[in-house]
Amino acid sequence: MKRAELVFVPTPAVGHLVSAIEFSKRLLDGCDRFSITILVMKPPFEPSATLNSNTSAQPLAASHGHIKIIDLPTVNRPLELLQQSREKYITVYIEGYKNHVREAIASHVLPSCSVSGLVVDMFCTTMIDVANELKVPSFLFFTSGAGFLGFLLHLSSLYDRVGTVFKESDSESVVPSYVNPVPASVIPSFAFSSEGYISFANHARRFKETKGIIVNTFVELESHAVGSLSDGETPPVYTVGPLIGEHPAQQSDHHSKFDKIMTWLDDQPLKSVVLLCFGSFGSFDEAQLREIAIGLEQSRQRFLWSVRKDPPKGEFVVPAEHTSHEEFLPQGFLERTSGVGILCGWAPQVEILAHRAVGCFVSHCGWNSIMESLWHGVPVVTWPLYAEQQINAFQMVRDLGLAVELRLDYRKNGGDNFVVADEIERAVRCVMDGDDELRKRVQEMSGVCRRAVGDGGSSSASFESLIEVMLASFN
């Protein structure tokens, strides 16, 4: 049988790659007429060996014979642009891959079949040019939520109208994709700099050139945001989430760590453990880590804490694990909390959230983490760090009432970026000892999102509509 060949170009970051592979698997499960090629770029901030198909993508895609993974060569990193804007740097870096994407399609795809469409990530809109050259449709795969998608589209139209960036002195902004006015304190940092703002505004303009926008969300969660995107200008939006995928690290060299963590959880009472995990780039300095430890001890809760070391100042690398926790912990902390909590570096977040013992998740509010917490019915305490995490936290607390606020406005670099122990204790206790209504709402939303991806659910219906559009291009 002749298959419709789709080429995926994800942003070279683990969270984006995992979501793209999970979406690919769901697409193949829903229709046997597709085959998929995923082009994996080297990461922009890391040595070239840290993200490749052998460690990140191949194990996750192995169960599907119609997913092909191709590693792209290394390109020069325009590191001088980092001083201007991280967003501009990533944009220019990915633009440097355009010829490699053309070459990979010409060498590895076109000799055996024709391309039916390109699915590009939010930072990869330059690859829409490749789709146009091939005379095939392009689709945007958006790994964050519909609220943030609406924010970026609003950003581009706002810049076209008034030509200015956001100001920290602004009080609130009306953004159509959010129910409540958005305070300046939770607007993503890039929107306050001209280079970052313009980079995202340019991406968002190109979103509108695509045949459709695929979003990892479900309409029952973000009904207001999804509704705001039916404006006659935005391409059709396909809500296909939650897309819950394994983290690739579990597939490699972490089996003993995985077993230790899960064995410890097996011995804990129902919903008694606080998980603290802040994503692959989440880290704190020693003073903040010490304050977290004091807050946890004061809260008298069981805990599982994923701890990572701040990279050297000015280096954009994945934070390393601590070789010794004693170097930042209060004296005697490990002895006093023995049996009550454990510290680790890498953590299998999805599997931990699925465990019956976990009752609370102190999170950076990356969108994948939000989807995972809702899927497993675990209430979130918000501690955003970077990117769009502040506005995600705002949406979860203020618009949706599905999380407890520790901070909404914490920024890893800049602002009031120190959280004291009493704040941590208060937020954790609020979930673990108090807010039964919150836990009930989160549990109800867990049921809703599982129904959304089931037979006849809203996300399944959206998937079916998307498949029809993709196959129409093929036919």
What distance in Å separates the CA atoms of residue 229 and residue 234, rounded to the nearest whole number? 6
Exposed e or buried b per residue across 61-94, where buried means at least 16 C-beta atoms within 10 angstroms of its C-beta: beebebbbbbbbeebebbeebbeebbbbbbbbbb
The neighbour count for residue 264, using CB atoms within 10 Å, is 17
Known catalytic membership, residue 16: yes
Closest CA to 412 of 245, 288, 302, 254: 288
Exposed e or buried b per residue across 248-260, where buried means at least 16 C-beta atoms within 10 angstroms of its C-beta: bbbeeebeebbee
Known catalytic membership, residue 121: yes
Among residues 16, 254, 322, 376, the one annotated as catalytic is 16
Check: CB of residue 229 under 8 Å from CB of residue 177: yes
Burial class (CB in 10 A: 0-12, 13-18, 19+), 30: middle
Separation in Å, CA 285 to CA 46, 162, 206, 333: 21, 39, 38, 18
Peptide bond into 242 cis (omega under 30): yes
Burial class (CB in 10 A: 0-12, 13-18, 19+), 287: exposed
What distance in Å separates the CA atoms of residue 89 and residue 346, rounded to the nearest whole number? 28
User: Under DSSP, is residue 172 helix (H, G, I), strand (E, B) or coil?
Assistant: strand
Provide the H-helix boundaries in 208-285.
223-228, 255-266
User: Under DSSP, is residue 256 helix (H, G, I), strand (E, B) or coil?
Assistant: helix
Check: CB of residue 275 under 8 Å from CB of residue 380: no
Tokens 């995928």 appear where? 245
- Report which secondary-structure segment, H or E, holds 200: helix 194-207
Among residues 29, 71, 121, 436, the one annotated as catalytic is 121
What distance in Å separates the CA atoms of residue 361 and residue 349, rounded to the nearest whole number? 10
Residues taking part in catalysis: 16, 121
